Structure 1
Amino acid sequence: MSTGVPHMSTHTALPAVLLAAVLWLPGAQAASVAAPAAAAQHDTPHMAAHNKQLVDIAFKQWAAGGSGLFDTLLASDVTWTIEGSGPFAGTVHGRDALVDKAVRPLASRLSTPLRPLHWQLWADGAHVIVQWEGAATARDGAPYRNRYAWIMRMRDDKVVEVNAFLDLPHYTDVLQRIPDTAARAGSP
């Protein structure tokens, strides 16, 4: 029986959901209503392609063994929100605070660096969405794999705001299962 609603495959549903999330970010409508001329000036296909390319290059370097992804992409005053609930969800202000509170605690519990295995990018003006899967080995020998979606807002070639989605139970499991050490510190 047809409901009259077109069917969306997994490949089209996720981008549609992520795009809808971007469109409903706080301030998205107000900015487009309050300053249409400014939005038209900055919200161009060229800007979207440029921002997408910056993120893609950074992910390629990271996947190939590079480090410094956060130094390359993030503004020093970035606002990073880990969506969800639990002790590790919340908002962090500043790149250094993000590394100290979210990145370093995970990295210190891994015996191999977290690397992106594959990723997919979408861009619209100042927003870039990256959906990616990462893998590493925990210090206890168990694999660590997680899937992420980062909705990023960029300004002047730097990410200034992120809404990050991940499987928090996988992240939490590693942090609770393995004791912290300062020996493996650093950021991707």
Structure 2
Amino acid sequence: MTSTTLFWAPFAARAALGFAAASIGILALAPHAEAQSISPTVTSQNKAAVEGKFDAWKAGTGNPFELLADEASWTIEGNSVASKTYPTKEDFLSDVIRPFNARMSIGIKPTVKSITADADRVVIHFDAAGTARDGKPYVNTYAWFFQMKNGRVIRAAAFFDAIAFNDLWARVTPAG
């Protein structure tokens, strides 16, 4: 071997390891193999189920939380006062949704911008507006990412404007 080859050998080895690690990372980010085998019918059923619950929410006859499996985890991303992972449906409802609704005199209604489905994944982008108990409007934009199984949400991640949420949470005391 030449001195140039000896010089580059450790870098080449590190590059190969880096490439392997990157490949593993990419595979970890890819949809699960089970998701790839889900039929287009399941994709459309998942989307229709979510659309139906959002329509019911807007009409005041239901809500998307009805889709949550009992063991569903819900993660609020970012830096709001409620940001963390709630390990079950009941944890999420009792710690976030019921106290949120108790701060509202007119509950929020969604205006869906888009619902996109791919296999067991459904993404909902929507605006929501309502009136807090202090008479001030609450307006926010949300992006929810659902993973579904057998027509139920088993994992969710939510993104929204934490400033608007935190303001409501601090400003308005929940109704008793």
1:111 is aligned to 105
Give the drift of 1:118.
Answer: 2.8
Give the drift of 1:39.
Answer: 4.2
Among 37, 54, 70, the alignment partner of 2:49 is 54
Aligned residues: 152
Give the drift of 1:96.
Answer: 1.0
SS in 2 for 1:144: strand
Judging by fraction of residues, say which structure has more helix: 2
> Could you tell me how far apart the structure 1 residues matched to 2:101 and 2:45 are?
30
Runs of 4+ in 1 over 4 A off after TM superposition: 24-28
- Structure 1 gaps, min length 5: 1-23, 33-37, 183-188
Give the drift of 1:119.
Answer: 3.4
- Superposed CA deviations along residues 118-167 of structure 1, whole A, max 9, x for unmatched, are 33100100000000111110111110011000010000100000110011
> Could you tell me how far apart the structure 1 residues matched to 2:42 and 2:57 are?
23
2:155 pairs with 1:155: no
Cα 1:26–1:96 change in 2 (3 A) is farther
RMSD, aligned CA: 2.1
1:41 aligned partner, one-letter code: S
SS in 2 for 1:181: coil
Which one scores higher on RCO, CA 8 angstroms, separation ≥ 6? 1
8 Å Cα contact 1:106/1:171 also seen in 2 = no
Among 131, 142, 146, the alignment partner of 1:137 is 131
2:159 aligned partner, one-letter code: F
Judging by fraction of residues, say which structure has more strand: 2
2:42 pairs with 1:41: no
1:171 is aligned to 165
Identity score, percent = 30
Larger radius of gyration: 2
Among 86, 89, 98, the alignment partner of 1:95 is 89
